[in-house]
A and B are shown apart, each in its own frame.
Chain A
Amino acid sequence: MASVYIPVQNSEEEVRVVLDQLPRDASDILDILKAEQAPLDLWLIIAREYFKQGKIEQFRQILEEGSSPEIDEYYADVRYERIAILNALGAYYSYLGKIETKHREKEEHFIMATQYYNKASRIDMHEPSTWVGKGQLLLAKGDLEQAFAAFKIVLDGDRDNIPALLGQACVQFSRVRYSDSLELYKLDPENVEALVALGILDLHTNEAAGIRGGMEKMQRAFEIYPYCAMALNYLANHFFFTGQHFLVEQLTETALAVSNHGPTKAHSYYNLARSYQSKGDYEKAGLYYMASVKESNKPQEFVLPYYGLGQVQLKLGDFKSSLSNFEKVLEVYPENCETMKAIGYIYVQLGQTEKAQEFLKKATKIDPRDAQAFLDLGELLISTDSGAALEAFKTARGLLDKGREEVPTELLNNIGVLHFERGEFELAERTFVEALGDGIWHTLTDGKAQPYPIDASASIHQYKDMQLFHRLEEEGFAVEVPWNKISILFNLARLFEQSHNIEMASILYRLILFKYPDYIDAYLRLAAIAKDRNNIQISIELIADALKVDDKCPNALLMLGDLELKNDDWVKAKDTFKAAKDSSDRKDSYATLCLGNWNYFAAVRSEKRAPKLEATHLEKAKELYTKVLFDHNANLYAANGAGVVLAEKGHFDVSKDLFTQVQEAASGSVFVQMPDVWINLAHVYFAQGNFPLAVKMYQNCLRKFYYSTDSQVLLYLARTHYEAEQWQDCKKTLLRAIHLAPSNYTLKFDAGVAMQKFSASTLQKQKRTVDEVNNCEPFPCSFLTFRVFSQLSAASNLQFHGFDEKKIDTHVNYCKHLLEAAKVHCEAAEREEQQNKQRIELARQVTLAEEARRKAEEQRKFQMERRKQEDELKQVRQQEEHLERIKEQWKSSTPASKRKDRSQYEDEEGGHSEKRRKKGGKRRKRDKGSKSRYETDEAEADIVDDQEEMEDEDANINYREPSNQMNNQEDEGEENAQDLLAAAGLEDSDAEDDMAAPSNPIRRRGAWSESDDDEPQQRQPQLSPNGDDSTEMQVSDGEVGGDDDRLNGDAAAADEDDD
């Protein structure tokens, strides 16, 4: 127990003051000191003790008292002690000034310090310690030159004054003149502090040799005095870097034991924590960092533990605390890149990407040469701003290149993918190739490897063929694919696929599979390629391979489901979709979408036409779409699907809004291709009777998405023209469609219907323009119609298009009828011609028509004969009936437009329609039993001899696919989107499918009917079984009669002309 003895004045006694138990109030001690006129060195000792105990106030009080004028007077001859007291005060204020951050106070402290030193100097100009103090003060003020001068004065007096030398060394050190300062420090080889200082200096040289030297010095200092905490810390630090964690712990623990000094302890704790952190013991590391932080308590002084703590907390997942620690670091070093990156990372983890970006951007701005920061930034930006991400990646790559560092293949891969996504295929390819480096793929892609013929019958398996690689191996090539190149190879293959270098893509996919037969995506892509080429069988096989690897892979299952749909395996497809949905934890919205689509299909295709079933399916579809929308409110496909269901239910306005929004959204993105929404929108316009807009929509869609190759869309277009009564356009459109899909007889039939309608309507026109008459347009046209139907009739014998023979025959008959009408018409025109003999050009055309007529006659005769053989009796009876009714009609009816006729009929017969509908329903049921569903459709019409009606219905039957189609195409769109992400997807509808496409005209009509005035009227006739229904017949007669009336009109016109 250290204590001092204050001698009592005028006696031999002494007052014992235990230093550990100094009174709180310094005045008590002061009183004793003053009273007993204690030597000044005791004052100093006591003050120093107060200082050690952190009782700064008392320390200052004693020293100030000790430097007061009375003391000066009393102890006038005790010079050295007085100077010491003043110097202590000076040093104290210099220290205060040094650590003070506020400028004004700092100045004040320095002024105080200066005053005390000056006072000390006045006592003795030459006292070295004063000069050392002054030097320190100047050093603290940053006035290096003057400090140097001050130290020099001391050294001039005493060359070996160690503090002065240290001070000078410090000056030199601050001036970054390490070698000079080294010289100065070298004077006292046994001085531990000097050794430590030297060691620090050596360490700061940042050179391997210097560091080694520094450590040696530290070690020596340690040997001389093993309890110097500073040396221990530095040694620990060193061993931390050399990885000797055991030593680190021992050293730091010793350091902790020997030192009470806060910052030093903080340093020790920090070392210990760091050691644990690097060993992976984050819990302990965290504790020691905490201890370290507690010791220093001010981030300004020792910030490293905050950083460490932040790191450990980050590691332990405590993002919030970690963030606050890093922020503290950033307060001290606002420009620290590492910290910013760490904070950026935390924000990423917290999902605040914007903030994360902000920090990373800042980091890259502060240090534009930090490749890692750019990399992180790039990765962060990928999902939000691919352009910026690409820039960041490119910068990172440039930096790495500059730094001669190896560019990681992942980075190149990312750059490549971004180029790819932006459609910059060439750049992407170059990047991928660079990332791949050298390998077997070079041999494959540069086209040097000779192709070898595959047996054509085996060629359907070309997407599973591995022979190529075996052959290459035989030829001595090493067919190797390093694991880290697979993704790049796959991406390159995707790129080839995207740029339609399908063959190369397939080779690369196969190469991947050759080496890594578990790479599911490659199977799926190959399957997708095969599917694109309509090679369904091999596609299914490939997916089966993929499922062998992982029978729960949702992508493979979804694709399989789609293929099954394509193969018309409805039930299987549903199961597959369900399995896919289950295997993805019901979270895969695509699977849900598929199921939604399936339900929609089911509603539309339903063989039994049960309205209940249909409604449930639709409802279910809607529910599924809505569910997807709920999860991902930006899912275009779900929105589209929901729109379809709404349209199906007749809510056109709502669905139109939906479609329009989807379309806008879709056209905003480069990656999303959604032709279906265009088509759906067009359908809605069509249903609302806005034909011009519908036409525009269809045409745009066709050009934009299908390279004008989709006959189905052409069919929609034709249907729109048809409804808009633009017969010529309708015909042309249908001809184009036929040209695109030659084997689709439905199109041919439709073309026939359109032409028939065209000629009939031309003949029906009350006032024909001279042009029309002159052109004799109706005649060749009806002749053609006749020919088309005759052809179809002939073809139907071959039974490959599924049309009902009788129905076609009916058309043939009607055409014959039209032909006759046209003949009369043309004769009239001819007469007119004869009167206008100057018009030679026109005459030529009539001759042409004549010739055509002659041919038609021949054709007709031929046809008649054939027909006679087929159903002579029935025909005769029918025609007789016809004639009779026509006669009746002549007597009673006045010419009226077709539409008017209709509505009259509707008014009169409205009451009957219900009954008829029932009948119709019954009949259908009966038909169904024996006939295929398609035939059922036809059956409804087959005996109908109302031509007009038939036509309408035919058109509807053959055009009714739009509603089906909606969904088919929707799937296709989905696939495009999915393609990018995964290899799964549904495919488009096949144009040929429409022959088989299960559908329900009635239902579709229901959907369109709301806005289409004509439809309800058309609907009932369609439903009616007729034959025994006399009103039905009447209508038909009305129609035919109408024609004849017009013929009469013609005759009248001709008569007039004659006059």
Chain B
Amino acid sequence: MKLAGLKSVDNAHDDSVWTATWVPATDERPALLLTGSLDETVRVWSPDELTNVATNTGHCLGVVSVAAHPSGVIAASASLDSFVRVFDVDHNNTIATLEAPPSEVWHMQFDPKGTTLAVAGGGSASVKLWDTAEWKLIASLSIPRPEGSKSSDKSGNKKFVLSVAWSPDGKRLACGSMDGTISVFDVSRAKFLHHLEGHFMPVRSLVYSPVDPKILFSASDDAHVHVYDAEGKSLINALSGHTSWVLSVDASPDGAAIATGSSDKSVKLWDLKMRTAVQTLSSHTDQVWAVAFRPPGGTGVRAGRLASVSDDKSISLYDYS
């Protein structure tokens, strides 16, 4: 289990790169890397060579999140101005522009079947679900306020939703908020199930294990990664090692490892069996905003790939084996 640096592109964007995701391979082409930046563009990169295939403009105030449809045909990008732009990956045609005022837009993810797009709604304390066929808002999953808290007190905005994650079976949706709580929803019934506690600082990234729909990994500003049993409501493990905020977490397709990116400028690879960081990569010179494993599939692609993007405007690609 290790990561080996393959390629690094400096100045991939004109400013800090804030988000990245892989667009799954289609019949015509292999998987592509999608990145979004403070420079208000979304760029598409070919794998391994990391050549810039396309640069999509149209956003304002910096792109905070990108998400790819499991089909690999369409993708969505969101910026600080709270617009979500859905576009055709290969031709950059705008398919839809989504907005649900007054809700902001933070992290987004398509469900595993590709029928729904979940969008973390920031201060609205909810997750917005968009139907991907007609691009209509179908549901708003609200986090219930803890009992006894007044809506006007200053802690009112603590349930600010930052991150979302679909379970691999598409039945559950977890969202992380500024105050560190993680809320789990039953999607089919649009019902809030329970909170997962343990963090007390913003949870900026969440991901379910691809092999076990119960296991949820969370990355928080408290420099820890928690491993939860999201069904059993229990904290299985707390991984410490980063020296600053953990900004992003992703699980490897084989489910044996997770990778994290942190404000401490490092990317760490964690062996889940050993429960320790087996590797720390420090090729970036500024905070690492996103890490993403390439999903399996596509023609002749067996090798694992991990991409990381950073405030230093660069993208790094690693071989995972």
> Residue B111 at the A interface, CB < 8 A?
no
Q: How many Å from the CB of A185 to the closest CB on chain B? A: 75
> Residue A340 at the B interface, CB < 8 A?
no
Nearest to B79 among chain A residues (CB) is A735
Q: How many Å from the CB of A44 to the closest CB on chain B? A: 95
> Residue A483 at the B interface, CB < 8 A?
no
Q: Are B160 and A742 in contact (CB under 8 A)?
A: yes
- Choose among A453, A708, A739, A745 the residue that contacts B286 (Cβ–Cβ < 8 A): A708
> Residue B241 at the A interface, CB < 8 A?
yes
- Choose among B82, B223, B234, B239 the residue that contacts A456 (Cβ–Cβ < 8 A): B234
- Asked if A784 meets B61 with Cβ closer than 8 Å, knowing A454-B235, A708-B287, A996-B154, the reply is yes
Chain B positions within 8 Å of A535 at CB level: 200
> Residue B8 at the A interface, CB < 8 A?
no
Chain A positions within 8 Å of B178 at CB level: 742-743, 992
Q: Are B180 and A459 in contact (CB under 8 A)?
A: no
Chain B positions within 8 Å of A451 at CB level: 236-237, 275
Chain B positions within 8 Å of A790 at CB level: 101
> Residue B198 at the A interface, CB < 8 A?
yes
Q: Are A456 and B162 in contact (CB under 8 A)?
A: no
Chain A positions within 8 Å of B62 at CB level: 735, 739
Chain B positions within 8 Å of A799 at CB level: 151-152, 156
> Residue A24 at the B interface, CB < 8 A?
no
> Residue A795 at the B interface, CB < 8 A?
yes
- Choose among A454, A709, A798 the residue that contacts B123 (Cβ–Cβ < 8 A): A798
Indicate with 1 or 0, residue by residue over A792-823, a CB within 8 angstroms of chain B CB atoms. 00110111111000000000000000000000
Chain A positions within 8 Å of B38 at CB level: 732, 735-736, 739
Q: How many Å from the CB of B69 to the closest CB on chain A? A: 25
> Residue A875 at the B interface, CB < 8 A?
no
Q: Are A501 and B15 in contact (CB under 8 A)?
A: no
> Residue B242 at the A interface, CB < 8 A?
yes
Q: Are A797 and B263 in contact (CB under 8 A)?
A: no
> Residue B110 at the A interface, CB < 8 A?
no
Q: Are A500 and B243 in contact (CB under 8 A)?
A: yes
Question: Complex Cα distance A454/B60, Å?
Answer: 44
Which residues of chain A from 551 to 574 have any CB-CB distance to chain B below 8 Å in the complex? none
Nearest to B247 among chain A residues (CB) is A709
- Asked if A739 meets B80 with Cβ closer than 8 Å, knowing A784-B60, A798-B124, A800-B156, the reply is yes
Question: Complex Cα distance A794/B123, Å?
Answer: 11
Question: Complex Cα distance A447/B229, Å?
Answer: 20
Q: How many Å from the CB of B37 to the closest CB on chain A? A: 11
Q: Are B287 and A800 in contact (CB under 8 A)?
A: no
Q: Are B201 and A500 in contact (CB under 8 A)?
A: no
> Residue B228 at the A interface, CB < 8 A?
yes
Nearest to B240 among chain A residues (CB) is A502
> Residue B250 at the A interface, CB < 8 A?
no
Q: Point out which of A447, A453, A790 has the most chain B C-beta atoms below 10 A from its C-beta.
A: A453
Which residues of chain A from 952 to 999 have any CB-CB distance to chain B below 8 Å in the complex? 992, 995-996
> Residue A532 at the B interface, CB < 8 A?
yes
Q: Point out which of A535, A707, A742 has the most chain B C-beta atoms below 10 A from its C-beta.
A: A742
- Choose among B201, B232, B242 the residue that contacts A534 (Cβ–Cβ < 8 A): B201
> Residue B56 at the A interface, CB < 8 A?
no
Which residues of chain B from 32 to 90 have any CB-CB distance to chain A below 8 Å in the complex? 38, 60-62, 64, 80-82
Q: How many Å from the CB of A799 to the closest CB on chain B? A: 6
Q: How many Å from the CB of A862 to the closest CB on chain B? A: 10
Indicate with 1 or 0, residue by residue over A443-463, a CB within 8 angstroms of chain B CB atoms. 000010001011111011010
- Choose among B82, B124, B222, B286 the residue that contacts A532 (Cβ–Cβ < 8 A): B222
Q: How many Å from the CB of A808 to the closest CB on chain B? A: 12
- Choose among B102, B232, B263 the residue that contacts A707 (Cβ–Cβ < 8 A): B263
**What 5 new A-B contacts, CB under 8 Å, besides A457-B195, A708-B311?**
A533-B199, A736-B16, A739-B64, A743-B158, A801-B123
Q: Are B276 and A447 in contact (CB under 8 A)?
A: yes
Q: Are A500 and B241 in contact (CB under 8 A)?
A: yes
Q: Are A742 and B104 in contact (CB under 8 A)?
A: yes
> Residue A417 at the B interface, CB < 8 A?
no
- Choose among A501, A536, A738 the residue that contacts B200 (Cβ–Cβ < 8 A): A536
Q: How many Å from the CB of B289 to the closest CB on chain A? A: 8
Q: How many Å from the CB of A815 to the closest CB on chain B? A: 14
Nearest to B262 among chain A residues (CB) is A707
Chain A positions within 8 Å of B221 at CB level: 709
Question: Complex Cα distance A534/B198, Å?
Answer: 10
Indicate with 1 or 0, residue by residue over B95-118, a CB within 8 angstroms of chain A CB atoms. 000000110101000000000000
Q: Are A743 and B123 in contact (CB under 8 A)?
A: yes
- Choose among B157, B195, B235, B275 the residue that contacts A453 (Cβ–Cβ < 8 A): B235
Nearest to B243 among chain A residues (CB) is A500
Question: Complex Cα distance A507/B161, Å?
Answer: 32
Question: Complex Cα distance A799/B200, Å?
Answer: 23
- Asked if A709 meets B234 with Cβ closer than 8 Å, knowing A739-B62, A800-B156, the reply is no
Nearest to B97 among chain A residues (CB) is A855
Please provide the 8 A-B residue pairs with the shortest distance between their CB atoms, ordered closest to farther. Answer: A794-B102, A534-B200, A502-B240, A743-B160, A453-B234, A533-B222, A707-B244, A459-B235
- Choose among A455, A532, A736, A745 the residue that contacts B233 (Cβ–Cβ < 8 A): A455
Q: How many Å from the CB of B224 to the closest CB on chain A? A: 7
Q: How many Å from the CB of A787 to the closest CB on chain B? A: 6
Q: Are A802 and B154 in contact (CB under 8 A)?
A: yes
> Residue B270 at the A interface, CB < 8 A?
no
Q: Are B198 and A456 in contact (CB under 8 A)?
A: yes
Chain B positions within 8 Å of A800 at CB level: 123, 151-152, 156-157
19 contacts between A and B (CB under 8 A): A451-B236, A454-B235, A456-B197, A456-B198, A456-B228, A457-B197, A457-B233, A501-B241, A533-B199, A709-B244, A735-B38, A735-B61, A743-B178, A745-B157, A794-B101, A795-B102, A799-B151, A799-B152, A800-B157
Which residues of chain A from 774 to 799 have any CB-CB distance to chain B below 8 Å in the complex? 780, 784, 787-788, 790-791, 794-795, 797-799
- Asked if A995 meets B60 with Cβ closer than 8 Å, knowing A534-B200, A708-B263, A791-B82, the reply is no
Q: Are B80 and A735 in contact (CB under 8 A)?
A: yes
> Residue A725 at the B interface, CB < 8 A?
no
> Residue A884 at the B interface, CB < 8 A?
no
Q: How many Å from the CB of B206 to the closest CB on chain A? A: 14
> Residue A190 at the B interface, CB < 8 A?
no
Chain A positions within 8 Å of B20 at CB level: none
> Residue B196 at the A interface, CB < 8 A?
yes
Chain A positions within 8 Å of B162 at CB level: 742
> Residue A503 at the B interface, CB < 8 A?
yes
Question: Complex Cα distance A709/B275, Å?
Answer: 27
Chain A positions within 8 Å of B217 at CB level: none
Chain A positions within 8 Å of B122 at CB level: 742-743
Nearest to A735 among chain B residues (CB) is B62
Nearest to A990 among chain B residues (CB) is B201
Chain A positions within 8 Å of B237 at CB level: 451
Q: How many Å from the CB of B60 to the closest CB on chain A? A: 5
> Residue B320 at the A interface, CB < 8 A?
no
Indicate with 1 or 0, residue by residue over B129-168, a CB within 8 angstroms of chain A CB atoms. 0000000000000000000000110101110101000000
- Choose among A459, A500, A502, A751 the residue that contacts B198 (Cβ–Cβ < 8 A): A459
Chain A positions within 8 Å of B186 at CB level: none
Q: Are B222 and A732 in contact (CB under 8 A)?
A: no
> Residue B265 at the A interface, CB < 8 A?
yes
Q: How many Å from the CB of B86 to the closest CB on chain A? A: 17
> Residue B303 at the A interface, CB < 8 A?
no
Q: How many Å from the CB of A701 to the closest CB on chain B? A: 15
Chain A positions within 8 Å of B238 at CB level: 462, 502-503
Nearest to B162 among chain A residues (CB) is A742
Q: Point out which of A457, A536, A790 has the most chain B C-beta atoms below 10 A from its C-beta.
A: A457
- Choose among B81, B201, B240, B243 the residue that contacts A503 (Cβ–Cβ < 8 A): B240
Q: Are A707 and B265 in contact (CB under 8 A)?
A: yes
> Residue B319 at the A interface, CB < 8 A?
no
Chain B positions within 8 Å of A780 at CB level: 60
Chain B positions within 8 Å of A504 at CB level: 240
Nearest to A531 among chain B residues (CB) is B200
Q: Are A447 and B274 in contact (CB under 8 A)?
A: yes
- Asked if A798 meets B102 with Cβ closer than 8 Å, knowing A533-B222, A791-B82, the reply is yes
Indicate with 1 or 0, residue by residue over B271-286, a CB within 8 angstroms of chain A CB atoms. 0001110000000001
